[in-house]
Amino acid sequence: MTTLHIPDIAGAVSQMETSVHPDAVEVSQACNEWFGSYNLMSQPQWDEMLKMEYGLATARGFPNGDKERLRLATDWFTLLFNYDDLLDDSTSDLTHNESGASEASKIMLSVLLDTDNFQPTSRLPVAAAFHRYSWTRFQASSSPSSQKRFIDSVIGYAMAAAKQTGIRESRMCPSLEEFIALRRETGAVKTCYPFVQHMLEIDVPDKAWHHPIIESLHEVDISSFNREQAAGDHQNLVAIVSVTKDIPVQIAMEYVFLMYQWAVNQWFQLLTQIPKFDPETDEIVSKYIRGLEHLVSGLTHWTFDTERYFGPQRHEVKDTMRVTVLPLEPWAAEPVQKLKYAVF
């Protein structure tokens, strides 16, 4: 079977602080009990979802702050990943159908944009969970700027997710530049930024929030490759690089890792260039930047905590940095592009 060498993404962020929120287990259990009460999936699907450790993702990404705020972040992550999986599920009509994905996006956005008049629908029951519990509680405890920034980020994510579904439906391969621009939204990392300031109970002024240096954190997509190619889905940065540059997957993975390393190095260079605003704003920005650092580092390390990307072999993969390429799932659509795995 074909195996790939996984670049050391955790080592790339070793200079960043990392820790775990002390209430991780309690909050994760409470979130799972709440989400499970909606009965949105079969028992086998539920058992698999518990292995994803979404509570640990938020505990790593937001290690500071009270547990009620951590619970809100954990609820959002759980909803987000399950919604995203619905769009990625090739057995769902929301996957290869842009109109279906657009409808799903409109339903999710109606929770944010027309909260009082939102009507639950069996078409997308996860939206009801978002409305009844998460969004209303976030509104009650967050600042107007956090709410606006969250809404803006979810709009960007939802629109981009529907667009990516259309690209998948068309069976076309976007250019590397087009994909990176889209991935910055579909990765949904921007939806996490408002939670950073919410967790830390700070309100970053617009003049700092929108400063180009503070907005320059980049994200790349490397760990989800194996999972997505097995579903016949090549809407992944590694696969896009492999196809557009006509190179083997292993070399494409190394290429993407160089992009990742450049982004991390750029991050530290940009930290030295953050301008001074005023004493109060400077203190807030300092706390926010540290929060972003925890987010980037925490989610990177979580890659090897969860079974989402490397399955039950995640610890072995972390130790050996090698992963066996999964076979194409029997229900998966035959990919248009054939990926190369041999280096020579």
pLDDT at position 225: 39
Token pair in block for residue 343:
């280096």
Percent of the chain at pLDDT exceeding 90:
36
Would you place residue 284 in the very low, low, confident or very high pLDDT band (cuts 50, 70, 90)?
very high
Would you place residue 6 in the very low, low, confident or very high pLDDT band (cuts 50, 70, 90)?
confident
Mean pLDDT of 138-158: 92
Residue found by looking up tokens 């009844």 in the block: 132
Full-model pTM: 0.88
Average pLDDT, the chain: 84
pLDDT at position 1: 64
pLDDT at position 294: 93
pLDDT at position 328: 53
201: Cβ contacts below 8 Å, ≥ 6 apart: 65, 69
- Note the pLDDT tens digit of each residue in 53-70: 999 999 999 999 999 999
Which residues share a beta bridge with 111?
Answer: none
Token pair in block for residue 251:
């070399």
Mean pLDDT of 316-330: 77
- Note the pLDDT tens digit of each residue in 217-233: 544 343 443 344 333 34
> Is the model more confident about 123 or about 131?
131
Instruction: Give how far Cα 221 sits from Cα of 26, 235, 239, 260, 337, Å.
Output: 30, 10, 10, 9, 19
- Note the pLDDT tens digit of each residue in 83-129: 888 776 666 665 557 788 888 889 989 999 998 899 888 878 889 88
pLDDT at position 170: 76
Question: Would you give the distance in Å from CA 290 to the centre of its chain?
Answer: 19
Hey, is 5 helix, strand or coil?
A: strand
The runs of H, that is alpha helices, within the chain are 9-12, 24-36, 43-50, 54-61, 67-88, 98-113, 125-129, 136-141, 144-170, 176-186, 193-200, 206-209, 225-230, 237-244, 249-271, 279-302, 307-310, 314-320
- Note the pLDDT tens digit of each residue in 28-51: 999 999 999 988 888 999 999 999
CB 56 within 8 A of CB 171: no
Mean pLDDT lowest among 13-17, 118-122, 329-333: 329-333
